[in-house]
Amino acid sequence: MPQKKLEIWVGLFVVAAIASFIVLAFSVAGLSFKGEGDSYTLKASFNNIGGLKARAPVKLGGVVVGRVESISLDVENYTPIVTLSMFEKQGFYPETSSLAILTSGLLGEQYIGITPGFVDEDIEMLGDGDEIEDTKSALILEDLIGQFIYSINKDD
């Protein structure tokens, strides 16, 4: 009988370990078992998105206020179109807001930073399906190094 009890406890421990690994995998992937609540969609066009990926966070002052829903290519202009899913509980933003693709640390993951614009009685708030015009593309480290090397060789 004690052998059977031990086997049951070991089995429960293995099941608990597998469940905790699944929760950890979801956490690392940025997925959640609980929803973020209601959301609305915004679109933005960038010249270069660098290594930005779907599910990347949209942050305002370090607080996650949305996620990148999808990335597609505008075949007429050949520019990347980023669709954002913004959390309604985090609020709405004026149409004068701007977006920038930023990097966590020197070589970390890329995310979108939103800077709210000024609010005036003539300025409307962005709603579902609106497009943010003011965008700043990602800084590509290789391009910066290339420009630096080119500027050194140009002086010679």
Residues 76 and 101 in one domain: yes
Domain boundaries, position 15: 1-34
Q: Are residues 87 and 27 in the same domain?
A: no
Question: In terms of domains, do 59 and 102 share one?
Answer: yes
Which pLDDT score, from 0 to 100, does residue 95 have?
A: 87
Task: Name the average pLDDT for the chain.
Answer: 85
Quick one: 135 and 63 in the same domain?
yes
Average pLDDT over residues 96-109: 85
Asked whether the beta carbons of 54 and 81 are under 8 A apart, the reply is no
Give the long-range contacts of residues 105-111, CB within 8 A, separation 24 or more: 107/141, 109/51, 109/56, 110/49, 110/50, 110/51, 110/52, 110/53, 110/56, 110/138, 111/52, 111/56, 111/57, 111/58, 111/59
Residue percentage of the chain with pLDDT more than 70? 92
Same domain for 75 and 94, yes or no, is: yes
What pLDDT sits at residue 11? 92
The whole-angstrom separation of Cα 92 and Cα 70 is 20
pLDDT digits (tens, 9 = 90+) for 70-89: 999 999 989 999 999 999 88
Q: Domain count for the chain, please give it.
A: 2
- At 30, the pLDDT band (50, 70, 90 cuts) reads low
Alpha helices of the chain — where are they, by DSSP H?
Answer: 2-28, 141-155
Report whether 68 contacts 58 (CB < 8 A). yes
| 112-128: pLDDT as tens digits | 999 998 887 778 888 88
What pLDDT was estimated at residue 8?
92
Span 20-36, mean pLDDT? 73
pLDDT band at 45 (very low <50, low <70, confident <90, very high): very high
Which pLDDT band holds residue 36 (cuts at 50, 70, 90)? low
* pLDDT at site 113: 93
Does 156 fall in a domain? no
Domain match, 53 and 30 both: no
> For residue 148, is it within any domain?
no
State if pTM tops 0.75. Answer: no
The pLDDT of residue 79: 92
Report how far residue 55's alpha carbon sits from residue 111's, in angstroms, rounded to the nearest whole number: 9
